[in-house]
Amino acid sequence: MIKVPELKGPRAMMRRGFVARIAAGAALLVPSVALLSTSGFEGVRPTELVEASAVDPMAEQWGARVMEQKRQSLIVELASAFDVPVNLAEQIHDVALEAEIEPDLAFGLVAAESSFRPAAVSPVGAIGLTQVMPSTARDVEPGTSRTELFDTETNLRIGFSYLRRLLDKYQGDTELALTAYNRGPGTVDRVLKSGGDPDNGYADKVLTGESERHVALMNRKFGRR
């Protein structure tokens, strides 16, 4: 809980207003809590943050600016870690969050599937950044054409939505969901039903690539080799 000393006069009012801005800014960062540091706000209850916002009408605007700065900083870091243009990193980041996919996982998926090439087409007909099959795309979003899958935002939205569906199907088991993304859930289910292990190394490829890039980013960030 953020405590404001019981002071009197204009100085006390100014300090309370400053604390209110900080608390309300933290409240607006809650949707990105998995990605953004909220150090310094541990123990602050949501009701206190809402009350702080009500105390200072400018707190919402201040918090929105802080959140956008944090978002832009993370996008630049991801672009650097995966060696992709910032505008593409921004699209992947934003679409992943809309689909409730962790951005690091989303970047690892795109790296493994297409090496970030929007026009990639596999020998079996999978298309674009997330290598979606047209039949899968139509299942996720009925009416989607093959041509539309070459559109970056459309491809990312459908690919990440499909991964989200698989994560839900396999109760949050990321490795199983990734394996199903690569092999197909029907194949994975048959192997599981027969008592086998459907792992084909694909999940490791996605997750290892994600981890290696994260380590490389941290090394660059802190000047390590």
Catalytic residues: 113
**Secondary structure class of 150 (helix, strand, coil):** helix
Helix 86-98 and helix 103-114: axis angle, to 10°? 120
Cβ atoms of 205 and 190 within 8 Å: the answer is no
Nearest CA to 48 out of 70, 74, 22, 67 is that of 22
**Interacting residues of 162 by C-beta distance below 8 A, sequence separation 6+:** 130, 132, 136, 140, 181
Nearest CA to 93 out of 104, 82, 80, 81 is that of 104
Helix 174-183 and helix 202-221: axis angle, to 10°? 120
CA angle in degrees (0–180, nearest 5) for 99-104-107: 80
Cβ atoms of 91 and 153 within 8 Å: the answer is yes
